[in-house]
Amino acid sequence: MKTNSRRDFLHKLAASAIAMPFFSSYTGFAQPGLLLPKQQNQVLRVALMGLGGYASRVAKAMQSCKRAKITGLISGTPAKLKEWGATYNIPERNRYNYENFDTIKDNPDIDAVYVITPNALHHEHAIRSARAGKHVICEKPMAINAAEGQEMVDACAKAGVKLLVGYRMHFEPNTLEVVRMRQAGELGQIMFFQGLSGFRIGDPNQWRLDKALAGGGALMDIGIYSINGARYMVGEEPVWVTAQETKTDTTKFKEGVDETIQFQLGFPSGAVASCLSTYNMNYLDRFFLNGTKGFAELQPATGYGPTKGRTNKGELSLPHVMHQTLQMDAMAGIILDNDVPTVSVDGQEGLKDLKIIDAIYRACATGTRQHIPA
């Protein structure tokens, strides 16, 4: 599909997502008899939605999974469906486009849909997947704001399916070692976190620089790593935020598309975080955590790996496995066996990040400290 026609197609999808009706809150239990784990032979069967660059990485990583496999494909590009179908041995009956994928409700070969489409489409695609009775794995950010995120959480609860978010770092061994040290008290009282997340973005015409599809700019794409990292590294939920936006290129970074944002978070214990999110600087992928008894540093902290780090006790050098392989095997356990991960990846986790993102944008717009709702 040509670039212009693809962008037109994505814009139409974005418009349909915005037009979707609101969902009321739902607090009931999962519907009995729906997607019983023991009926799935302990292998999670996944349909990938949105066959772009990141989906290619996920698909490659899943070839090494023991508990998850690709059994379906969803794309608006017929040539991709044909190519991917041949590559991953997906029969034509399990290949869908964005107009007909609701019929997956009648397909017993698919347990979950992994939504890897542009940010503004997550809301619609996740809700439609839930209505079809399929578990939902959604790339981050889960939605473009907390209101949409809440509707996704409610829709999945109403349908009796699980909603997980693609937080691959929650399963990375060196990251989890730092979390373990903090939880064990080895770092003492946590006082400070620094998160640096950024790179120089290329093609000015890509969807990530289109507010209608991305929902923002660097903060939605790369800055979310520092937002989420601050939470699991400090081990608390922030209660306030201040933020400042800097924009040097108004041609590439149009209204509503942030180039660089510095933000500061305050936690109930008194710990603070200082973070940077940017699309205009390379070599920014670092987490630093400081406590009264020690420190931990990860650099690179959130790239595709290998993750490297050190603490006051020495180097962190746990073996590297493709992050998405670890993620998908772990998510299979969460969905099929109700496993509880060390760091949550459920819809509520995604919603917490969205509330912080909303507050950061408010802080940039007003120049004042913003309260972060629980």
* Cis peptide bond prior to 306, omega within 30° of 0: yes
Q: What is the strand order of the sheet 95-96 is part of?
A: 95-96, 68-74, 44-49, 112-115, 135-138, 163-165
Report d(CA 293, CA 249) in Å as an integer.
43
Cβ atoms of residues 335 and 161 within 8 Å: no
Cβ atoms of residues 275 and 227 within 8 Å: yes
Task: State how beta strands 260-266 and 240-246 pair.
Answer: antiparallel
Given 98, 114, 140, 158, the catalytic residue: 140
Identify whether 225 is a catalytic site residue: yes
Report d(CA 136, CA 126) in Å as an integer.
6
Cβ atoms of residues 280 and 272 within 8 Å: no
Instruction: Give residue 147's Cα distance to chain centre.
Output: 16
Report d(CA 262, CA 248) in Å as an integer.
14
Given 96, 167, 225, 232, the catalytic residue: 225
The three-class DSSP label of residue 298 is: strand
The contacts of residue 369 (CB under 8 Å, 6+ apart) are: 240, 241, 242, 363
Q: Which residue in 120, 42, 147 sits closest to 138, CA to CA? A: 120
Cβ atoms of residues 124 and 13 within 8 Å: yes
Task: Enumerate the active-site residues.
Answer: 140, 225
